[in-house]
A and B are shown apart, each in its own frame.
Chain A
Amino acid sequence: MKHRLTLEYTLGAGALEPYLNGLREGKSIARQCRRCDRVTFPPERACGCQSSDNLAGSYGWKQLAGTAALVHRTDGSGGSFALVRFDGADNQAVCRIANPVMEGEHARLLAVHDGAPGLLIELTGEALETAG
Chain B
Amino acid sequence: MVLVAGTGMTAFNRRKDGSGFRDWAEEALREALVSAKLGRGDIDALVVASESDFFSMQLNPASVLADDIGLAGAACQRVEGGGASGQLAVHAGVAMVLSGSARRVAVVGFEPSASYLSGAAVSELYGYSFDAWTDGMTGISATALYALSAKAFMARCGANHDDFSVISVQNRENARDNPKAHLPLEITQEEVRESLMVSDPYRRLDCSPLSDGAAAIILTDPNAAPADRKNAARIAGIGAANDRVRLGDREDPGLFKAKQVAAKRAYALAGISEPARQIDLAEIYDAYSGAQLQAIEALGLSNDFLKEHRSGGFSPSGRLPVNLSGGLMGQGAPVGATGVAQVAACAQQIEGTYHTGLQMRKPPRHAVADTHGGIATTCAVTVLEGSGN
Contact = CB atoms under 8 A, between A and B. Distances in A.
Interface of A: 3, 5, 16, 20, 40, 42, 44, 71-79, 81-83, 91-96, 116-120
27 contacts: A5-B57, A16-B133, A42-B134, A72-B148, A73-B151, A74-B148, A74-B151, A76-B197, A76-B198, A78-B140, A78-B141, A81-B138, A81-B144, A81-B145, A81-B148, A91-B246, A92-B247, A92-B248, A92-B253, A93-B248, A94-B134, A94-B135, A94-B138, A94-B145, A118-B134, A119-B134, A119-B137
Contacts of B197: 75-77
Interface in B118-157: 133-141, 143-145, 147-148, 151-152, 155
B199 interface: yes
Contacts of B196: 77
Contacts, number: 96
Contacts of B145: 81, 94
Interface string B190-232: 0000001111111000000000000000000000000000000
Contact of B143 (A78, A93, A95): A78
Given A3-B57, A42-B248, 14 more contacts: A40-B249, A42-B134, A74-B147, A74-B201, A76-B143, A77-B197, A78-B139, A78-B140, A78-B144, A79-B139, A81-B144, A92-B249, A93-B248, A94-B145
Interface residues of B, number: 30
Given A42-B246, A83-B248, A91-B248, A118 B148 contact: no
A118 B139 contact: yes
B151 A91 contact: no
Contacts of B136: 118
Interface of B: 57, 133-141, 143-145, 147-148, 151-152, 155, 196-202, 246-249, 253
A76 B200 contact: yes
Contacts of A77: 196-199
A76 B144 CA distance: 8
Contacts of B253: 72, 83, 92
Given A40-B249, A77-B196, A78-B199, A95 B138 contact: yes
Contacts of B144: 74, 76, 78-79, 81
Nearest to A93: B248
A75 B145 CA distance: 11
Contacts of A42: 134, 246, 248
A76 B146 CA distance: 13
